Amino acid sequence: MKSNLAAFRISVLAVTLAVLPAFLRAQAAPPQSPPGAATAQAEAPPLTLTLQDALERARVNSTQFRGAVMQARLAHEDKVQARAGLLPSVGYEGQYVYTEGNGTPSGRFIANNGVHEYLSEGNAHQALDVAHVAEYRRAAAAAALAQAQQEIAARGLVVTVVTDYYGLVVAQRKYANAQQGASEAQRFLKISRELEQGGEVAHSDVIKAQLQANDRQRDLQEASLAMEKARLALAVLLFPDFQQNFSVVDDLRLPPPLPSPGEVRQMASRNNPELDAALAAVRVADHEVTAAWAGHLPSLSFDYWYGIDANTFATHTGPILNLGHAAAVTLDFPVWNWGATQSKVKQAQLRRQQARLELSAAQRQLLANLESFYGEAETARNQLETLRNSAELAEQSLRLTTLRYQAGEVSVLEVVDAQNTLIAARNAYDDGEARYRVALANLQTLTGVF
């Protein structure tokens, strides 16, 4: 009987040892996706993004912009804390003090009220000095400065998104232009071969057409690479998971209007964050000077206590009421600190001087940028019509030149030149439309949205 039981245990152990490795591998293996899940994900339709969609996603994912938002929030909390320093504070203290006895009710230490002392008091405290007021005003100005810097970061982010967004749009257009150019080069190569077979042109024309077709194929490959780079640059900016399955809406054919110079100057004068930041920096420096000067002035504080400070932890000790109150007024005069306060005043004055210089520079730079950005936008807008006309004329020129070549009136070089001119004109028109949008975005960093 015992031998049968031992044999059974041995067989169970052997089966367990055989199954255990497979079980452990199954537990450690990652969960398997259902059949067709990866294929469905890869075949998901691309996400279509407008410029506004791209801006919203960039505001969420841009670390630089989120950092500016965080700094504005921190500055706001500094303002809240500085304001709290101007208001009365209320605290509570609970304490038990034991003093070694000496045979008398007061114990060994004369500073204590007895061998056993219990404190349970509430305290209301109010400090009045110029430094606290100046610190609150400085914190408020610093919050305004951080808010202006957040707006600067937001407008700079718009320029970045507009540049990358329309960079992808133009890259896609140039890829389409390269495809069309390659197709036209192949068609011309076919025409030249047919004419050569008919004895109408020399073999050198076919060679030139073949070279042109080879160039257009290389241009097509370069355009494809540029399009992928533009897509990757925009994907890094918009998606936290680096998604590439998206497309952008091409709205370059609908350029927004450009305001008049007077309207632009008016908007820049009342809605320029860089000027607001410089003004806020000057206000911060002014309040820092006031806070430093406050170190020479006396400070006043009030304290009010209510509670128990007795030898027993009770509201009454016999007929005596232990509950009571006390008040104190403290006037503190600064006398001597080895010139530290005066040094702080000099530091604050130097910072104020620098802030005023930066304000003057910001005002001059605003005027220069306003003229430069407006001129860029106006020039880009005025060139759109001529660029479009040039593209249309280049297309017509290629068509006519090809017909004249078939009629034997022009050389192969003129056809090749017409093809190159058409591709250059199309690309220049696409670049001109994107240039106008980027110029508007740069101008709006000074004026806000118009």
Q: Do residue 92 and residue 191 come from a single domain?
A: no
Q: Which residue has the higher pLDDT, 139 or 11?
A: 139
Determine the Cα–Cα distance for residues 132 and 297; give it in Å rounded to an integer.
Answer: 12
User: Do 230 and 255 reside in the same domain of the chain?
Assistant: yes
Average pLDDT score, the chain: 89
Query: Looking at the structure, do residues 373 and 434 belong to the same domain, yes or no?
Result: yes
Q: Are residues 226 and 320 in the same domain?
A: no
Largest CA distance in the chain: 137
- Residue 323: inside a domain, yes or no? yes
Res. 164: pLDDT tops 60: yes
CATH number at residue 211: 1.20.1600.10
Domain annotation covers residue 20: no
- Ramachandran sector of residue 17 (left: φ over 0; alpha: ψ -120 to 50; beta: rest): alpha
DSSP code string of 229-253: HHHHHHHHHH-TT----EEE---TT
Same domain, residue pair 257 and 406: yes
Same domain, residue pair 65 and 124:
no
Q: Residues 192-205: what's their mean pLDDT?
A: 92
Do 399 and 443 fall into the same domain? yes
Residue 13 DSSP SS3: helix
The answer, yes or no, to whether residue 170 has pLDDT greater than 50, is: yes
Highest mean pLDDT: which range of 4-18, 35-49, 114-128, 389-403: 389-403
Q: What is the pLDDT of residues 283-325, one digit of tens each?
A: 999 999 999 999 999 999 999 999 998 888 888 888 889 899 9
Confidence check: pLDDT of 178 > 50: yes
Residues 243 and 265 in one domain: yes
Residue 173 within a domain = yes
pLDDT for 219: 96
What integer pLDDT is reported at residue 105 of this predicted model? Answer: 77
Residue 102 pLDDT: 80
Q: What is the pLDDT of residue 25?
A: 46
Query: Within a domain: residue 26?
Result: no
Is the domain of 256 the same as that of 363? yes
**pLDDT above 80 for 19:** no
**Pair 105, 225 in one domain:** no
Residues 124, 247: one domain? no
Total tally of structural domains belonging to the chain: 2
307 and 359 together in one domain? no
In a domain, 38, yes or no: no
pLDDT classification of 224: cutoffs 50, 70, 90: very high
Q: Are 50 and 250 in contact (CB under 8 A)?
A: no
Decide: pTM greater than 0.85. no
Look up residue 236 and give its two tokens: 């890094």
pLDDT at 345 over 60: yes
CA distance 197 to 194: 5
Domain assignment present for residue 3? The answer is no
pLDDT tens track for 60-82: 999 999 999 999 999 999 999 99
Q: Give me the domain span that covers residue 72.
A: 49-84+134-297+348-447
Q: Nearest to residue 215, comparing CAs of 204, 227, 225, 207?
A: 207
Question: Which helix (H) or strand (E) is 355 found in, with range?
Answer: helix 340-406
Residue 438 and residue 162 in contact, taking contact as beta carbons nearer than 8 Å: yes
**Averaged pLDDT, 125-139:** 93
Q: Please check whether residue 143 lies inside any domain of the structure.
A: yes
